[in-house]
Amino acid sequence: MPVASTDPHSHTATEEHMPRRRVLAWLTSVGLFGSAVLSAVSNLVFIKPRATYGQPARFAIGKPDDFPSGTRISLDVKRVCIVRDGGKMAAISTTCTHLGCIVGISDTGFACPCHGSRFDQDGTVTGGPAPKPLPWFELSLAPNGELEVDKGTTVAPGTYLNV
């Protein structure tokens, strides 16, 4: 008859592997479950649209009296140039039609500092790589007497608002 061992470190081979197998099975299950949860959450975050609302397409720029006759004022933040010639006003884009740089006002019209495109006073291309003229935006007078530029609505070049 076998004698029972009193040594606490002596185990049979099957007893030694069972707890290890359970621990490994548990760790594997937790790892698989965790990666499935992480994958599901990251997919939901990826699919959710990231709405980046830029500046509004329609904005007020002030009263007509703020723009003296004969001026061309560039509003770089809004990327528009306000032109006033006597009693008529217009809004011309200052975004180059080549690669989207902000054009500056020059003596002959507009000049792109990035790639050398040149535009006349009306935004027509006179030189450089720009493929199209600068667009003109709708300019209107709001009920409160302020001028509003609508960058969502382009108008034909030479379209002025009588103020």
**Residue 85, strand partner residues:** 88
- Exposure class string for 107-123: b at 16+ Cβ within 10 A, else e: eebbbbeeeebbbeeeb
What's 31's DSSP letter?
H
User: Which parts of 4-159 fold into alpha helices (H)?
Assistant: 13-47
Helix (H, G, I), strand (E, B) or coil at 153: strand
Region 58-162: CATH code = 2.102.10.10
Task: Report pLDDT digits (tens) over 85-99.
Answer: 888 999 999 999 888
- Could you tell me the residue ranges of all domains in the chain? 14-52, 58-162
Task: Report pLDDT digits (tens) over 55-77.
Answer: 668 888 888 888 888 888 888 88
**How far is 82 from 80, CA to CA, in rounded Å?**
7
Answer for the pair 123, 91: CB distance below 8 angstroms, yes or no: no
pTM passes above 0.85: no
